[in-house]
Amino acid sequence: MNPAPSIVFFTVASGAGYGLLFWTGLLRPLGWVPASPGFGAAAVGLALVLIMFGLLSSMAHLGRPERAWRALSQWRSSWLSREGVAAVVTFGPAGLLFLSVIGDHTALATAMGLLSALGAAITVYCTGMIYASLPTIRQWHHPLVTPGYLLFAAFSGAALLAMLAGFWGQAAAPAAIAAVLGAAAFLLKRVYWASVDGARPVSTMETATGLGAIGKVRVLDPPHTETNYLLREMAFRIARVHAARLRTIASLAGFAAPAVLLALALVTGGVVAGICAFAAAALAMVGLMAERWLMFAEATHTVALYYGADTRG
Amino acid sequence: MTSLPESKPGAKKLGLVIDLDTCVGCQACATNCKEWNTSGHMAPLPDRHPYSAGQEGVWFNRVHSYEAGDGEDGRTVHFPRSCLHCETPACVTVCPTGASYKRAEDGIVLVNTDMCIGCQLCAWACPYGAREFDDDQGVMKKCTLCVDRIYNEHIPEERRVPACVSTCPANARHFGDLGDPDSAVSKLVAERGGIELMPELGYKPVNRYLPPRRAPKADAGPPKDAGPLPSQITNPLLRWVDKVLSR
């Protein structure tokens, strides 16, 4: 699949934003992050900025962005529509959370924080289901795709929260959470890659053409000599060697290194902890961009079968 | 509404039956499809650089050519690919706006281009590559089964079939109601063992492909009821008569 920069950026940025919103909403009432209005405003503010930039970026992907409001109508059948509804609804409590932390209304902030956390989790779940519900792309139609979206959002959000809490000198709790989630994300991605690499594609050129009864099918002539929308969008090919390198970058820079840095922040404390948390958050975002880019680049669509591509990826 | 209409037994399921045994890969169906539809229901169908390198545009029908099998069993198969008007089309259910829909009355899958936001998720959801994005209008386009021909009372009745069907010189394309077991197309499918494409994905395509017939054995000789060969007829007049009648 074509890794459109707008979608890669959208899912990483809004995922991290929702993760940050989730943990801020959940950990503030517990007193695990700084209770000052300044910190709350910074955390919720950064989350909203990331979510908003992500959503604006996803709008850039649309052919008719001015009609985007229509996407809220088909929540009965469409995960994309459900994601849109969940995103819009979550802005309510998230906005009130921002106002209540600034105004220091503890009870309201707690309630809005918990509602925001719920909305964030539902939104990211819908994002994951958009991909996981497509049987045409076997690398997405996989039981670990939606848990992955949730885990990566929770991890990057916790890393960002640790970074912010580091500026207040209280990174311990979010750093511990982020370190554990980073390790879990590393493992999940490894298991996922092993699973998709080992699986045999269900659909083949033989089932796509129905000619399997005659024998093996090969392309003789393509229907067109130039490229087309289908080939550009759904028959994107990535060199195996690049994919291998990017997997290493995504899993090490995106998950393993931040997890180690966050663990380091936990044991050191003070300024060093702040620096470690900052570096961890920055690495996590860069690594997740690589992970998300790969999520598209390595995904193979059944339509490529008609053009002779195998979908082993 | 992108929820699918309730499927009732005996409901009309309009679709195509494509005979891979007789398709000669002439591209006439693709050409006539483009010709009709660029001014039809989903008009226009864009063409970038139509007369130079980098030609690219939206087509509802693409004719592939494959080789299947090896040795004596191997053969060339021309394979027109277009929307199969599936019974459970995920392209419709994933649509967030309601622009994509499946008609309850005849099962045709259409896009309302006035509502489409161009998110292209439907193209991802279609296993068969039936949907192509129109960059000029920023909306998705697809085969309409010539909904503007098949019910069109302004054209003679015998021409009320999809443009691809009407133009096929090999009569390899058939149009009809696949929901009616007694229709000509349903009988053809039953008789020839019509196949579904990628049934494993569960989209339940309505269109069927008739597989190529088995090639006769090379050493089978002439059929039993065959007359004498033209070279065996000595009388020139009779030879001419034989030639005319054998056409």
Confidence label for B244 from pLDDT (cuts 50, 70 and 90) = confident
Q: Does A38 touch chain B (CB under 8 A)?
A: no
In A, minimum Cα distance to B93 occurs at: A77
Amino acid at B130: A
Q: Is B183 left (phi over 0), alpha (psi -120 to 50) or beta?
A: beta
User: Structure tokens of B150?
Assistant: 């098949």
Mean pLDDT over each residue of chain B, to the nearest integer: 92
The predicted-structure confidence for B36-95, as pLDDT tens digits, reads as follows 999 999 999 999 998 999 999 999 999 999 999 998 889 999 999 999 999 999 999 999
Q: Report the C-alpha gap between B109 and B103 in whole angstroms.
A: 6
Other Cβ atoms within 10 Å of A286 Cβ, number: 16
Confidence label for A310 from pLDDT (cuts 50, 70 and 90) = low
Q: Is B17 helix (H, G, I), strand (E, B) or coil?
A: strand
Answer for the pair B207, B85: CB distance below 8 angstroms, yes or no: yes
The predicted-structure confidence for A188-237, as pLDDT tens digits, reads as follows 999 999 999 999 889 999 999 999 999 999 999 999 999 999 999 998 88
Q: Does A301 touch chain B (CB under 8 A)?
A: yes
Q: Does A76 touch chain B (CB under 8 A)?
A: yes
| Rounded CA Rg of chain A | 21
Q: Does A126 touch chain B (CB under 8 A)?
A: no
- Mean pLDDT throughout A126-137? 97
Domain residue extents for chain A: 5-306
Q: Do B121 and A215 touch (CB under 8 A)?
A: no
Distances in Å between the Cα of A60 and the Cα atoms of A65, A262, B118, B144 are: 7, 34, 11, 28
Torsion sign, CA atoms B216, B221, B227, B232: positive
Question: Hey, which residues does B76 pair with through a beta bridge?
Answer: B67
Q: Is A184 helix (H, G, I), strand (E, B) or coil?
A: helix
Q: Do B64 and A306 touch (CB under 8 A)?
A: yes
Residue A238's pLDDT is what? 79
Determine which of A101-115, B40-54, B210-224, B226-240 has the lowest per-residue pLDDT on average. Answer: B210-224
Question: Hey, which residues does B62 pair with through a beta bridge?
Answer: B81
In this complex, which of B54, B65, B139 lies closest to A64 when CB atoms are compared? B139
CA angle B87, B92, B94 (to 5 degrees): 125
Domain residue extents for chain B: 14-210
The residue among A236, A213, A227, A216 whose CA lies nearest residue B66 is A216
Q: Do B2 and A77 touch (CB under 8 A)?
A: yes
Answer for the pair A13, A74: CB distance below 8 angstroms, yes or no: no
Contact residues, chain B, for A211 at CB < 8 Å? 20, 66, 68, 77, 79, 211-212
pTM for this predicted structure:
0.91
Judged on CB neighbours under 10 Å (0-12, 13-18, 19+), A78 is buried
User: Structure tokens of B145?
Assistant: 């089964």
CATH placement of domain A5-306 = 1.20.1630.10
Judged on CB neighbours under 10 Å (0-12, 13-18, 19+), B38 is middle
Residue B236's pLDDT is what? 86
3.40.50.720, 3.30.70.20, 3.20.20.70, 3.40.50.300: CATH of B14-210 = 3.30.70.20
In this complex, which of A80, A134, A218 lies closest to B119 when CB atoms are compared? A80
Q: Is B189 helix (H, G, I), strand (E, B) or coil?
A: helix
The residue among B222, B219, B201, B197 whose CA lies nearest residue B210 is B197
